[in-house]
Amino acid sequence: MNEARLTEKLSVLADAAKYDVSCASSGSSRSNHNGGLGNASKMGICHSYTSDGRCVSLLKILLTNHCIFDCAYCVSRRSNDVRRAAFTVQEVVDLTMNFYRRNYIEGLFLSSGIFKDADTTMERLVRVAKELRTVHKFNGYIHLKTIPGASEALIHEAGLWADRLSINIEIPSDAELQRVAPEKTHEQAIKPMRYLHKTIVGLKEERAVVKRAPLFAPAGQSTQLIVGATPDSDHTILGLAHGLYQQQGLRRVYYSGYVPISTDVRMPATGSTPMVRENRLYQSDWLLRFYGFSVEDLLTPEQPDLDLDLDPKTAYALRHPELYPVEVNEAPPEMLLRVPGIGQKSVRLILQARRHGRVRMEHLQRMGVVLKRARYFLSFSGTAHALVHRPDRLRPQLIAPLRQKAAQLDLFA
Amino acid sequence: MRPTWLGMNARHYVYDGSWPGLLTVVFTLFNEKRPALSVVRDRLLVTDLFHDIREVVTDEASATRVQGSARSLLGARRMRDLWTCHLAERADVDRLLVEFLTIAFTGGGVNDTRDVTVLGLRQWRKHVSHEKHQMEAFVRFQENTDGVWTSTIAPAYDVLPLIATHFRKRYPDMEWVIADKLRGYGLYHRNGQVLPVRFVHEKEPLLPAPHIEAAKNESAYVALWKTYFRSVDIPERRNLKLQMQHMPKRHWKHMVEMVAGG
């Protein structure tokens, strides 16, 4: 092993891959059936955390950062003057196996610049996965990037070896994408997504009947949207995400706050996208997927951006005073879920408790309900907070504790 | 403790800290109709002069009876949850467990999520499971010249019995040892069998035999992992508080990427 060369490549190709925020190693189910190495745990595991508090779960690297494209938002774009490097298939396999054996990682997330054409790049990614699975009996998690424009045969083969496949849409509207990445369109990303979705659904149905039908991308597909690099509104972003969940059956949409890494003139001269916005988008995404909210509940064309001062559920509650208070001892679960500070676990606990008697405020506190938000929107056997129908006066109350917290954080920063 | 239970009749129970031991406490408590003020593992912890102390000797037959009837009331999954809580090795948890089994055997609401005991144990199950999950994540193996992969941990709770299955399924082709430095024992795996092992040197459990050392490429892979770890950081977003919240500092000395040097 040439350690010095490998170190150089690893630092270049890990650094270039880190702006892809997807880190999940969950949602798969691959058991160790061949006495080889590893398995994919349903829950996913974060093996370490970087100094910015992000999870390190997978060995996330590019095969190469040589790229024939020139997308303004990307560090690896052709016209950018950065160090270039490329791994061999064997090097990636060795690193993955050896990191995995030491329990450093859950698996591999392999992406790449397009170094010659789409098919050549995709073929190389597939070869890494195939070698890990067949030669080395590796059953850990593999996430491969789908390269837009690659042939369906190659994309299909990728699905046979990988747990998850992803293709990044990056720029939320087609018009903006054309401006910053003239060589790309949304359709190029959606087309392979559609193919994979069809195949995943098809093979799943087959597996239900024929147990030995092959695993095909058991952890599904994901994508990433860059936030704040273009003037696209939160309404555009969430609308797109919602469509992707509905039509392409995506497991996850990731939102990546734009870090101004680029000095390309096509990019806005703004500072970093506030972390809060990224956070609010994730909260909204969660409400869409698990809390029965629709995009229209959260945003409208007239009010196209999320409130940065309040979480989206609290903001919703303040816009709809007519729906509150929600009676703890009577309300159906879907209404309890619309109360700020009450999550799915709390709802389950409340329903269980109701079978035994009246539920009071102190019980909720013990269950872990966030009362500093929930108490304004609930009633207990008919008794509600005095301000429940005064959103104008509630708003400052709900923001104030957050402001204080922020001020304290500043003090210690 | 439930106020209705208390009175001069109540006393302190001392037991050996084992799960059958705790079940024997429950057996004794019902048999002799004397409720528990506290349940401790060391007699010296009881400083109360006004109540009796009962030292319970673990009895497998009584424990099995309690286990059997509790399982038929609560189900296997709930029993596993209680056993998980017990691995916290804390007197307050032991008391909650005895209280909870008392509720179960007297026909009380074991699913009443308004109850302090029910919710308290729920919390503790979460704490212990969380520690288990973290240990599955933070174990770092080192390869040695004798072909054995070794790792040292210092978990807050006695989670080795909980993580054995995970590592057996994940690394079936490796011979490995995970040593709990605080409790002086470990797990040893070979060919799909996991055995508990005690260590001669409790303070330095993995002190190797003189002729054994780290395998040839070990330091290179540690260095490469550190390189990787440094490269994926985004310094503009530094948030050490968040990092420590996810990865408590007490684990750092056993994680190669958090140890200085290289």
Q: What is the mean pLDDT of chain A?
A: 91
Task: Return the amino acid letter for A167.
Answer: I
Closest by Cα among A145, A226, A235 to A180: A226
Percent of chain A with pLDDT over 90: 74
Quick one: CATH architecture of A3-222? Alpha-Beta Barrel (3.20)
For chain A, say whether B193 makes contact (Cβ under 8 Å): no
Residues of A in contact with B148 (CB under 8 A): none
Distance (Å, whole) CA A64 – CA A66: 6
Distance (Å, whole) CA A101 – CA A172: 39
For the cut 60, the answer to whether the pLDDT of residue A209 exceeds it is yes
Q: Which residue of A has its CA nearest to B113?
A: A353
Percent of chain A with pLDDT over 70: 95
For the cut 60, the answer to whether the pLDDT of residue A412 exceeds it is no
pLDDT at A411: 47
Instruction: State pLDDT tens for residues A38-55.
Output: 999 888 999 999 998 989
Pairing between β-strand A48-49 and β-strand A55-56 as defined by DSSP bridges: antiparallel
For chain B, say whether A29 makes contact (Cβ under 8 Å): no
Q: A143 in helix, strand or coil?
A: strand
Residue A7: both structure tokens together = 């170190």
For chain B, say whether A37 makes contact (Cβ under 8 Å): yes
Instruction: State pLDDT tens for residues A133-191.
Output: 999 999 999 999 999 999 999 999 999 999 999 999 999 999 999 988 888 899 999 99
Query: How many Cα neighbours within 13 Å face the side chain of A345?
Result: 10
- For residue A290, give every residue at least 6 positions away whose Cβ sits within 8 Å of its Cβ, in sequence order, or none: A344
Distance (Å, whole) CA A83 – CA A16: 10
Euclidean distance between the first and the last CA atom of chain A, given in angstroms as a whole number: 43
Nearest Cα of chain B lies from the Cα of A32 at a distance, in angstroms, of 7
Q: Which residue of A has its CA nearest to B192?
A: A35
Domain extents in chain B: 4-130, 139-258
In contact, A82 and A76? CB cutoff 8 Å? yes
For chain A, say whether B103 makes contact (Cβ under 8 Å): no
pLDDT at A402: 58
Q: How many CB pairs under 8 A join A and B?
A: 152
For chain A, say whether B116 makes contact (Cβ under 8 Å): yes
Is A10 in contact with B237 (Cβ distance < 8 A)? no
Q: Which residue of B has its CA nearest to A257?
A: B237
Distance (Å, whole) CA A239 – CA A229: 18
Q: Which residue among A31, A35, A275 places its CB closest to the CB of B173?
A: A35
Note the Cα A96 to chain centre separation in Å: 23
For chain B, say whether A18 makes contact (Cβ under 8 Å): yes
* A residues 294-353 closer than 8 Å to B (CB): 349-350, 352-353
For chain A, say whether B236 makes contact (Cβ under 8 Å): yes
Instruction: State pLDDT tens for residues B172-214.
Output: 999 999 999 999 899 999 999 999 998 777 666 666 666 788 8
* A residues 78-117 closer than 8 Å to B (CB): 95, 98-99, 101-104
Instruction: State pLDDT tens for residues A73-88.
Output: 888 999 999 999 999 9
Task: Return the amino acid letter for A165.
Answer: L
Domain extents in chain A: 3-222, 312-412
* Mean per-residue pLDDT, A194-203: 93
For chain A, say whether B259 makes contact (Cβ under 8 Å): no
Instruction: State pLDDT tens for residues B138-183.
Output: 999 999 999 999 999 999 999 999 999 999 999 999 999 999 999 9
* Mean per-residue pLDDT, A251-257: 93
pLDDT at A88: 97
Distance (Å, whole) CA B12 – CA B46: 7
For chain A, say whether B58 makes contact (Cβ under 8 Å): no
Least confident of A387-401, B64-78, B118-132: A387-401
Integer angstrom CA distances of residue B166 from A28, A143, A299, B137 = 16, 22, 44, 11
Percent of chain B with pLDDT over 90: 77
Phi, psi of A315 (to 5 degrees): -60, -40
Distance (Å, whole) CA B140 – CA B178: 9
Percent of chain B with pLDDT over 70: 93
pLDDT at A313: 96
* A residues 112-171 closer than 8 Å to B (CB): none
pTM greater than 0.95 (yes/no): no
Residues of A in contact with B172 (CB under 8 A): 32, 35-36
Closest by Cα among A250, A51, A46 to A146: A250
Is A11 in contact with B230 (Cβ distance < 8 A)? yes
pLDDT at B2: 46
Q: Which residue of A has its CA nearest to B224?
A: A7
Is A103 in contact with B224 (Cβ distance < 8 A)? no
Cis before A325? omega within 30: yes
